[in-house]
Amino acid sequence: MLKREVGRVVKCPYCGFEADVNSFKLLREPWRFRFYTVRMLECPRCHKVFNYYFGISPRSGKRSEYVIRIKPKK
Interface contacts to Zn ion, rule CB under 5 A: 12, 14-15, 17, 43, 45-46
**Closest CB to Zn ion among 45 and 65?**
45
Instruction: Give the end-to-end CA distance of the chain in Å, rounded to a whole number.
Output: 33
Q: How far is the CB of 58 from Zn ion (least distance, A)?
A: 31
Quote the CA–CA distance of 8 and 17 in Å, as a whole number. Answer: 14
**Closest CB to Zn ion among 37 and 45?**
45
**Closest CB to Zn ion among 13 and 56?**
13
For residue 26, count CB atoms less than 10 angstroms from its CB and return exposed for 0-12, middle for 13-18, buried for 19 or more. middle
